[in-house]
Amino acid sequence: MTSLPADSHVHSEFSWDTGGPDSTARGTMRATCARAVEIGLPALFFTEHLDLEDAWFTNPEDFAAHERHLVGEDGVVAVPRFDVDGYLEEIDRCRAAFPELTIGTGLEFGQPGLRTDAARAQLDLTAFDRIIGSLHTLELGDHRVEPNTMFRRLPADDVIRRYLAEVPSVVAADGPHEVVTHIDYAVRYWPEEDEGPFDPRPLEEEFRGAMRAIAASGRALEINTRRLRPWIPQWWAEEGGEAISFGSDSHTPLALAANFPEAMAMADWAGFRPGRDPRELWRR
Ligand SMILES: [Zn+2]
Ligand SMILES: [Zn+2]
């Protein structure tokens, strides 16, 4: 049986959006490590959210119930500061409790092209094993909004176009991250009930252009396994992408390494091969 690669995109209780305090589904670091051992996952990186957005606007109904208290009267979102000390202490405790599992540190850094100075002022970014960079919010007037909010206001194709247009400057330019996450992030919120299933072909050139910018930056692209889209590793390889990571983006233990066997087959088919250590990126 081929061994699984590291899950390079995992959240724990140190991410502000992981369950509520009363949620039984809450993805604690400890329960997630226990799950990794149970399913034979050799390695993972806890990539907690680092969101330093200062003009993030939302409709309260676009936030999950347990997150709604983070939305101000004016619709501006303020998330709690990342507790890096508590996080590193729990990493140490889990490394001691699960010696058979390789536990890497990490961050999922939102909008690195806009917020890297702010991140450096708050954290020693060199202390993390794997930083992944994400585009979660898009410019709309004076604010930045998530794609789900933008889909309420603009034609669906335009939202995807705007997302891909921001990729070069926000996740393919400055930043400490070695991997760009979920290029299909906006597609997660595609309004299927009005538009039908998402078809990437009318937006192929825009996706390929965003991938070229990421490839030119020397970074890897994440295969986000929440939903598998075979055209992503295919177009990524065709546009010069050299490396990929695998990320479940789990916020609960049961979502850890979801769909990894299928994602591995998809990556292999697109020409990517594992390294010697499960922590390594797969390369062409
Ligand atoms: Zn994300
Ligand atoms: Zn994530």
Summarised one tens digit per residue, pLDDT across range 105-151 is 999 999 999 999 999 999 999 999 999 999 999 999 999 999 999 99
Token digits of residue 116: 């890297």
Summary mean pLDDT of the chain: 95
Class of the 7-283 domain?
alpha beta
Sheet containing strand 43-50, strands side by side: 7-10, 43-50, 102-110, 130-134, 179-180, 220-224, 243-247, 282-283
Q: What is the pLDDT of residue 67?
A: 86
Cα(26) to ligand 2 centroid in Å equals 14
Cα(11) to ligand 2 centroid in Å equals 7
Q: Which ligand ends up closest to the CA of 12? A: 2
User: For the chain, which residues make up each domain, given as ranges?
Assistant: 7-283
Least confident of 51-55, 189-193, 234-238: 51-55
Residue 51's contacts (CB-CB under 8 Å, 6 or more residues apart) are 16, 79, 110, 136
Cα(206) to ligand 2 centroid in Å equals 23
Cα(12) to ligand 2 centroid in Å equals 10
Question: 194-230: per-residue pLDDT in tens?
Answer: 999 999 999 999 999 999 999 999 999 999 999 999 9
Of residues 21 and 12, more confidence is placed in 12
Cα(16) to ligand 2 centroid in Å equals 11
